[in-house]
Amino acid sequence: MKLQFRFLFAFLFTGFLLGSCSNNKQEFSVNYEKFTLDNGLEVIFHEDNSDPVTAVALTFHVGSAREIEGKTGFAHLFEHLLFLESENLGKGGLDKMSSRIGGSGANGSTSRDRTNYFQTVPNDALEKMIWAEADKLGYFINTVTEAVVAK
């Protein structure tokens, strides 16, 4: 008798759960703008006014999958080199500037198919951080020496 009651309860409860599941699926979407600069850089812009901060993220479609045997680790090496120094910002300049303007979370990552750099800054510091990211990309190469790579 107890077993029949448990079975009946489980059957009814399962029916209740299945009956309460809705077939109405709400579509999820995020509004954004996407455009390409003259130099080929694709920009994806999404505005969210719920916080007074801006996330800055750069993604490059290069990772370990594009490396050849015997010549691996370059994507990850460049991820680290780009944080070290640039001609205009100097050693540790990106981190120093980020701290000075109230930024946080500057970091990067490398995977098989991409290298990513990201951080969060106050809204009024967005222009400065975009300048710093551009400086990092355009003016780091002359600061890379054999000693830096050896570290």
Structural domain boundaries in the chain: 33-150
Residue-averaged pLDDT of the chain: 84
State pTM to two decimals: 0.71
Convert the pLDDT of each residue in 18-43 to its tens digit: 555 666 678 888 899 999 989 888 98
Token pair listed for 113: 């198919």
> Which residues is 58 bridged to in the sheet?
117
Residue/partner pairs of 59-64 with CB below 8 Å, 24 or more apart: 59/114, 59/115, 59/116, 60/114, 60/115, 60/116, 61/113, 61/114, 62/114, 62/115, 63/110, 63/111, 63/112, 63/113, 63/114, 63/115, 64/110, 64/111, 64/112
Residue percentage of the chain with pLDDT more than 70 = 84
For residues 49-74, give the mean pLDDT: 90
Residue 58 phi/psi, 5° resolution?
A: -120, 130
Q: Answer yes or no: are the C-beta atoms of 101 and 54 closer than 8 Å.
A: no
For 53, 72, 89, 97, 119, the CA distances from 130, given in Å and listed in that order, are 14, 30, 13, 12, 11
Q: CATH fold of 33-150, please? A: Cytochrome Bc1 Complex; Chain A, domain 1 (3.30.830)
